[in-house]
Amino acid sequence: MNKGCYTCRRRRIICDNGLPTCRKCRDAGKECLGYRKPLVWVKGGVASRGKMMGRSFDDVMGDTTAQKSDSHDANTTLADGVMPPPTTEAHAPIESDRLATCRADETPSASDVEPISEAVISTAGDLVSTQCTTPAAIYIPSPLGLVDPVLKDLSPLSRFYILHFNQNLVSYLALYSDVRNPYRDLTFLVGDSPVLAHALAAVGALHRAILTNHEFSLPWSSDAAGDGGTALSPEEVERAVISSMARRPSSKYYEHFLGFKQRALRQLSLDICDPIMRNDNRTLAAIMVLALMDAIESGDGAWKCHLEGAKKLLKSREQSKSPNQAQGMMDWLDTFAIDGCLLIQLMGSTLARPGSLTQPFYSSTMGPAVLKRLEETSWVGCPAYLLEVIFFVEAGHFVAPDKDPITQYTMSFSSVFLPDDSNPLQSPQALLEHIQAFDPVAWAESMQSCLYLEDLSMRIALATIYKAAVYLYASRVLSRPRSGRNSMTTTSFSLPPDHGAVTTILIHQIALIPIADPHFKCLIWPTFIAGAECRDPAHRPFLLEKLRALYYDITSVNVRNAAWVLTLMWRKRDQRRQERNRRRAEQDELFDESPRSPLTTDYDDDDFDWIQELDDSRIDWLFI
């Protein structure tokens, strides 16, 4: 059993054993030194291995001084015509040869070395200069192992951040990281792809910068969710959001991130202009890594540029593909790019403004295999059954009465709880019934082929959460079609009567999944939907606390921005509710009825369209 991190043991407090670092250390503003004894440079320490085992640096320097003294005495003796006594060891040639074979790039591999502390990074230059000024007759063997051949051509800084990416972030980028995680496989390609190496190093440096930064203004650290007299107005909250988004960490890690990001974008520009590299699978993979980087950095719209660029490359490759290359798109890197495009397209379109994204690369003719693959590999954790619903809601594919039935769209997934001849696309109500017919228990059992779990309760809870979240989102979109969308029906459609009850179910289900569970990382989008549909202010502190836990667990700025957007929505919602109640009170007084307080608790505010609020903004959010 882990006894806790080194810092907590020194502070004599109980450690929470959080990964990648202890959360108690983060909250206290202290550096977590990990769960092993940290590497400490000791002046004059005794070596425990190698040629210097049992000896200290002072011993070596003493021997060197003695050798110099002996050499001086020998020269004096020779000058006097006296021969020195014979020696049995020829130290100088051996040490010289060994020194010649010692290379400066002998650094540890990604699999053998422990995480490097800040002291090592900040003093790396000093260590190198000290070794270079060591007398040539002294050989001090390096305690570091050989470099992984995959990373041997990269700089030490690139290796450090790619290693950080693999150790601290990659496990969050798949539903079950130990089963299938294509992001982990990307590391094996960095040796031959500069753009991919720079992109992965940039993501690692960004994550490290966020992890060690404590300067961000967080909505859960203030009275943002309270109803006290010091509550901020919507305008003040909006200014705080903009100020928080514009603030960036001031650390060397963030400077490294900006440098790697600039190199990745420059290399990507060169590769796109090259006809050969444009069709290289690694170029596509790097684009999706950059889209992920933008989502982690803020999630406020830059991800669209990379998404649209990747979609154009995929479409051009499909159009120019010859018949004998029909299986080319089945390559795992192409699969990685297609899955990344589809995931960001589907989830990003739910919160993006109308017309900000082009048509998705996915079509219903591609079959259910693509969506089934997404539910097993993506960290979003949404079942394929519900991903298809999101696709049709956003695409606006509805059955038209005057259209040929042969060309009508059909859904790939069906439910045993619906009649065989049912068509979920014939009306909004039919589509909502299709969502309600989804069986979380059956889905959880079917996922046993992907990863067997003895206890299915958390997997069932995740499926129930997405069922409720997609139901709330679809009913909101269908009841108030946004401008620029294809109308699903010509008849009016309002929110279903159980809309509020489903919101309550969603909030209760979110509370069931603990932080340590692997499904916890999948709760960003559902928690935002729950907060947007939440009517009772009493639920707001819980939702902000859940986003806070997600932020410190995943360390992604878009989670913090999701909390800020919800805070702003809640302020606007409360303000409109108070104005409506005030008008009602004035009408009661006008008609001599019993007056009501303008602050009367009234949560019947279905007219607050949070999707329209997002459409009226200037930002296309991605909260995944």
pLDDT of residue 279: 85
Indicate whether 457 pLDDT > 90: yes
pLDDT over 90 percentage in the chain:
30
With 0-12 CB in 10 A as exposed, 13-18 as middle and 19+ as buried, what is 402?
Answer: exposed
What residues pair up with 46 in beta bridges, in sequence order? 56
Concatenated DSSP letters of 600-619 = ------TT--HHHHHHHSS-
Average pLDDT over residues 217-226: 55
Q: Which two tokens stand for residue 621?
A: 């959010």
pLDDT of residue 53: 66
DSSP H helical ranges for 181-231: 182-185, 194-211
Average pLDDT over residues 273-283: 89
Residues 473, 610: Cα–Cα separation, whole Å: 10
DSSP H helical ranges for 454-539: 457-479, 499-510, 524-533
Residue 544 CA: distances (Å) to CA of 195, 529, 569, 613: 37, 12, 13, 20
- pLDDT-derived band at 234 (thresholds 50, 70, 90) equals low
pLDDT of residue 572: 86
pLDDT of residue 52: 65
Residues 443, 384: Cα–Cα separation, whole Å: 10
Domain ranges within the chain, ordered by starting residue: 194-224+231-397+406-616
Model confidence, pTM: 0.72
Q: Which of 344, 305, 261, 249 minimizes the C-alpha distance to 555?
A: 249
The per-residue b/e assignment along 41-72, b for 16 or more CB within 10 angstroms, e otherwise, is eeeeeebeeeebeeeebeebeeeeeeeeeeee
Indicate whether 361 pLDDT > 60: yes
Residue type, 343: L
Residues 6 or more apart in contact with residue 440 via CB below 8 angstroms: 460, 463, 464, 467
Indicate whether 202 pLDDT > 90: yes
Residue with more model confidence, 299 or 462: 462
Average pLDDT over residues 507-525: 95
**Does residue 126 contact residue 163 with C-beta atoms inside 8 Å?**
no
pLDDT over 70 percentage in the chain:
66
pLDDT of residue 614: 86
**Does residue 510 contact residue 419 with C-beta atoms inside 8 Å?**
no
pLDDT of residue 598: 46
The per-residue b/e assignment along 178-195, b for 16 or more CB within 10 angstroms, e otherwise, is eeebbbbebbebbbebbb
pLDDT of residue 177: 87
